[in-house]
Amino acid sequence: VGPGLAARGRPPEIPPGWSFNPSAWTQRLPVIALAIVGLLFSRYLAAYQMEQIDGVWEPFFPGSAADPRNGTEEIITSSVSQAWPVPDAAVGAFVYMIEILTGIVGGRARWRTMPWLVLAFGLLIVPLGIVSIGFIIIQPIVIGTWSTLALIGAAAMLVQIPYSIDELAASISFLSRRKKAGRSLLRVLLFGDADADEGDRLTPVEHEFERSPGAVLKDMWTGGVNLPWNLLVAGVIGLSFLFTRLTIGASGAMADADHLLGALVLTVLAVAAAEVCRAARFALVPLGLALAAAPFLFDGDGLHIGISIFAGLAIAMLAIPRGPIRERYGTLERIIR
């Protein structure tokens, strides 16, 4: 018996109490498309690391004045990259390929027919997103320059996170329900199953793409994901702190602290953009307070102190409102605060 056969062909496709299907193609295609972008960028950078091409495109960051290479070339040949036994960009390309495959495989009810695959899909994206933001953090701090392609790739990776969390949450919730019902957790994980009340929730299969392009794109953009105005403003403020070296002349440990905390703000917002994980926004409160306190710890000047206090307190306060939750999530709604 292959994975999923225990529940294949048994509707419904929507989890109990949910208002949408987290395994629908409109939910998965944005993640797959962004993974393809990551694959292309990683393969391009790996070609330089393996000396298959002579240079890489870099429009903004020239790198060190003493080094003829641009910022991207310096980063992908740095000691951090060379610490890997193989080209790290090639490893990234390999992971993106696996992500694309795990995104494509499985039907519209795979949250319950193939839980193992959904867990693998989600667990590829979330750690890879953390690694990507970690690499962005160390670029100016450890290596001393930036890479445009790495910034774009990290942004694409962060956008994938909220679009994958809802399906992961649906599968974990399903496994929990079946375990409470006395089913073998391992068997359900590997072969799938069905909720006991399925017969009361039978619904016709929705033809996702037999609609107007606008309706399809709306589902792809908004299904289970939204960033309310308050969190969007917090994100803009956090993003600005990545570039205080350029905007207000920050340097040394002060600039490093700004960069680190700004990147962490963006990471938290990537998770909180998923409605089912909106409570993650509360992590912005300590991050905002840390931004406000940083100039006192790292000898910031008067201008930096004023900006940091205002911006840090603003981020902390903007984290309080939850914002709209458009979809329904069954028993998981108790954690959406």
Q: What is the pLDDT along the chain (337 residues), one digit of tens a residue?
A: 445 444 444 557 889 989 889 998 888 988 899 889 889 988 999 999 998 998 899 888 887 767 778 888 888 888 877 888 888 888 888 888 998 999 999 888 999 999 999 999 888 887 677 777 777 787 778 777 778 888 888 888 888 888 889 999 999 999 999 999 999 999 999 999 888 765 444 444 456 777 777 777 777 777 789 999 999 999 999 999 988 888 888 888 898 899 999 999 999 999 999 999 999 999 999 999 999 999 999 887 888 999 999 999 999 999 999 999 999 998 898 888 8
Q: Supply the pTM of this predicted model.
A: 0.85
Residues 192 and 268 both lie in one domain:
no
Tokens of 328: 């329904």
Question: CA-CA distance, 121 to 148, in Å (whole number)?
Answer: 27
Same domain, 91 and 169: yes
Give burial (CB, 10 Å; 0-12/13-18/19+) of 236.
Answer: exposed
Do 69 and 165 lie in one domain? The reply is yes
Residue 150 and residue 185 in one domain = yes
Q: Are 295 and 308 in contact (CB under 8 A)?
A: yes
pLDDT at 169: 93
Residue 145's pLDDT is 79
Write out the E strands in the chain: none
- Residue 268 tokens read as 């938290």
- 324: enclosing H helix or E strand: none
Are the C-beta atoms of 284 and 311 separated by less than 8 Å? no
For residue 126, tell me if it sits in a domain.
yes
The last residue of a domain, from among 175, 201, 224: 224
What whole-number distance in Å separates Cα of residue 287 and Cα of residue 272?
Answer: 14
Looking at the structure, do residues 217 and 233 belong to the same domain, yes or no?
Answer: no
* pLDDT at residue 195, as a whole number: 84
Residue 326 lies in a domain: no
Does residue 304 form part of some domain? yes
Give the bridge partners for 329, in sequence order: 18
Report how far apart, in Å, the C-alpha atoms of 19 and of each of 110, 269, 329 are: 17, 23, 7
Q: Please report, for the domain that includes residue 135, its CATH number.
A: 1.20.1440.130
Q: How many domains does the chain have?
A: 2
Q: Is residue 162 part of a domain?
A: yes
Longest dimension (CA), the chain: 71
Q: Rounded distance, CA 26 to CA 224, Å?
A: 11
36 Cβ contact list (under 8 Å, min separation 6): 96, 100
Do residues 207 and 64 share a domain?
yes
Please give the residue range of the domain that contains residue 96: 1-224
Q: CA 85, 69, 241, 126 torsion: positive or negative? A: negative
Q: In this predicted structure, what is the pLDDT of residue 2?
A: 46
